[in-house]
Amino acid sequence: MDQESVLRAAKLREEINYHNYRYHTLDSPLISDAQFDALVDELRALEAEHPELITPDSPTQRVGGAPAEGFAKVEHPAPILSLDKASSRAELLAWHTRISKLLPEDAPPLSYIVEPKFDGLTVVLHYRQGQLVLGATRGDGLVGEDITANLRTVKTLPLRIPADPDGPQPPPYLVVRGEVLILLEDFDALNARLIEAGAPTGVTPFANPRNAAAGSLRQLDPAITAQRPLHLYAYSIVTADGSVPETQRETLDYLRALGFAQPDEIAFFEDGAGDRRLDAVADYCEQMIARRNTLPYEADGLVVKIDDLATQAALGVVGGRPRGAVAYKFPAQEATTTVVDVEFSVGRTGVITPTALLEPVPIAGVTVSRASLHNFDFIAERDIRIGDRVLVKRAGDVIPYVAGPVVDARDGSQHPIEPPSTCPACGDPVAQPEGEIAYYCINAACPAQLVQKLTYFTHVLDIEGLGERTAVQLVEQHLVEDPADLYFLTKDSLLTLEGFADKKADNLLAAIAQAKDRPFDRVLAALGIRGVGTTVAQVLAEAFPTLDALAEASAEAIAAVEGIGPITAQNILTWFAHVHNRAMVEKLRQAGVKLAAERQAVAADEQPLVDLTFVITGTLSRPRDAVKAWIESLGGKVAGSVSQKTSYLVIGADPGGSKYNRAQALDTPLLTEEQLYALAGIHP
C-alpha cells in the first residue's frame, strides 16, 4: 500500500467528519449533498481497495453525525439506518443482482414500492397507548435528540392515534419513522415574511427548505417552531409491541389510517416477471427525474424498497445500510462555489441586472460559471458578497441562481456588491425610482437598451429576418434610434450592413411592411412598456380602443381596468410622458402602423345611440374613456357637462353633486349603467 493512499484516506476522513458535523449538528453545510457524496464514494473506493485503511472513526463505519448539545439524548429502540444509493438504471440493476444472489432460488418474483426521498429532517416518534410521548431526531442513527416539545407544534403530526376514532387501534407501543419538511409553497411564503421582518429584526431568509425545517425543529423555544409551516410524512414502523403489517404497502396504508400524512407520489410494482418489474421501476425513476420540479416538496431522489418486510429483514444489513432498499438519487441541482466577480447588464427597459461570475462548478450535468443574482434588494437581503462561498441552484432548465452565502466560510476577504452609479453600456447615470426595487439607466438612447428593444419589438410583431445580430448592426451604424425607424429603412441603407445582399434586404423590408398589418394590441405590446405584455395589451386594447385614448387616460382610469394594477398604470403614464416615446408613436402613425382597434362598421340606421348626447358622472364598471368610446361607436356623443342638449345623465357609483343637480333642474332623464346598455340593446 502506497503512502499517498494512506494520506488521502486520512484527509478524506477528516473532511467527511467535518462536513458531517456541519450538516447534522450545526445544520449549516458548507458543501452540497452531491459534493459530500463524492467524498464518501472516494473513501469507500479506497477502503475497498485497501481494507487495512478502515479505522474505527471512519465515516463509512457509522450512520451519521453526533447529536447536538442543548437537547437531551435519546437512544433509539433500533438503528435508524441510511440507505445505499444508485444514480442510474445500471446501478439499480446492479443492486437487484446483488440481493438476488442472497435469496432462495425458488423465491417468487419480488414486488417493489417506490417512495419519494424527502429532503427534510428524519424524526422518530414514540407512541404509548396511542399517545405521542417522545419525538427525536435521527442523530447518528443510534442516539438522537429529544425534540418532543417542538414536534408537538407540527400540525400534520397526530398527538394521538388513531386521529379518526373509527381508525385501527395501534399496538400499546409503536415507534414510527418519518420526515419533517416544509412544502415549497410554504417555504416561499415563510421567506417572504422573514425578508419583510428582516429590516427591523435582522432576520435573514433560509437558503433552502431543508435548512428551514432543520433549524425550526431545533429551536430551544417551541413557540418559534410553532410559527414555522412544518409538515410531516410518515413512512415506516421502527418497532412495535404487537402485530403490524407484513408489507411496506400495507404499512403505508396502516399509517395513513392512523392519521399520518402520505405523499401522492408512491408507486407499487407487482405485475409481470421479476425482470420486467424492475424495468418498470427503473422507467418510473427516470420519469420522476423530469417531474421532480413539479413536486410540492424538495426531494433529492426516490427510495426503492422490497415490498415484503420479512424479505427485507432476511437480506440483512451491510456497512450500516439495509440491503432490502436503495436510494435512487436524482442528479444534483445545487452546489457550492465562490463568487469571483459581478457583471452588470442592461435590459430593454433600462433595468440593470446583476449576474454572479463563479468558479465553474458542475450542476445537473452542466458546468455553471454564471448565475443570476435577481436584483440588488435580493443581494442585500441575503448579504451576498464578492468572494463568498455561495449555494447555487439549477432546477431543470431554469437559469442557475445564487440562493445565498455560506456565511461561516467567510475569512474577511469578501466585500459587498454595490449597484453601479453609471450604466455599463453608455456611461450615463443610473437611478432607482422611489418605491421600486430595480435600478435603471435613464438614457433613452442607451445602445444596450435599443438593441434589446429592437429584438423585442420584432419578436412581438413577428418580423422575420431581424435577429440580435442585425439589431446590433442597425444600432452601431446609427440607422435606427427607436423601433419605429425600422419602417423607414431603405434597401440602400440595408446593403451597407455586413452580410446583406439584394435578396436578404428585400426579404427584411417585406417582413417589416407586413408588420404594419398587425392588430393594435400586438403593437401596444411591442412598445415595451414595463408590465404590458401580450395579455395585458389585449385587456388594455378592449378598454382603450386607440393608443391616443390610452395616452390621454388618467392613472385611476387605467388602474380601474380589471387585471391592471396601479404600478402598471403608472408605468404607462411614465412611458407616454417621455418626449422620445411620443415621437416614436408619431413615427409609427406616419408609417401606417395600426394604433387603433379594428371594429366592424355599423350602418347609420343600425346605430342605436345616434343623435343622443350623454354625460357621465360617478364610477362605472369600466373606465370612463372605454364607455365613451363604446357610446361613440354606436353613434352617440359624450359631453363633459349637463346642458339643454343632454339626452341622458348616466349615473355610476359616488356621482358628483353638480351634474346631478343640474340634470334635476333641467329634467334631464337619468340612466344607470345597466339601463344605458339596455337602451343600446347590446352589451359592450
Residues labelled catalytic: 117
Q: Which residues contact 683 (CB under 8 A, 6 or more apart)?
A: 677
Q: How far is residue 684's CA from residue 679's CA, in Å, rounded to a whole number?
A: 12
116: which strand partners? 302
Q: How far is residue 99's CA from residue 191's CA, in Å, rounded to a whole number?
A: 44
Burial of 23 (0-12, 13-18, 19+ CB in 10 A): buried
338: which strand partners? 389
Query: The sheet that has 121-128: what strands, in order across it?
Result: 131-137, 121-128, 173-181, 231-241
Does an H or E element contain 401, and which?
A: strand 401-405
Q: How far is residue 33's CA from residue 37's CA, in Å, rounded to a whole number?
A: 6
Instruction: Assess contact for 473 and 573: CB atoms under 8 A.
Output: no
Angle at which helices 209-217 and 184-201 cross, to 10°: 70
Helices first, then strands: H and E counts in the chain: 24, 26
Angle at which helices 447-460 and 468-476 cross, to 10°: 140
Helices (H), 259-308: 274-291
Q: How far is CA 78 from CA 298, 402, 617, 666, in A?
A: 27, 40, 78, 93
**449 grid coordinates:** 437598451
CA atoms within 13 A of residue 393's CA, in its CB half-sphere: 15
Residues 224/226/227/229 CA torsion (nearest 10 deg)? 130
CA atoms within 13 A of residue 251's CA, in its CB half-sphere: 27
Instruction: Assess contact for 35 and 334: CB atoms under 8 A.
Output: no
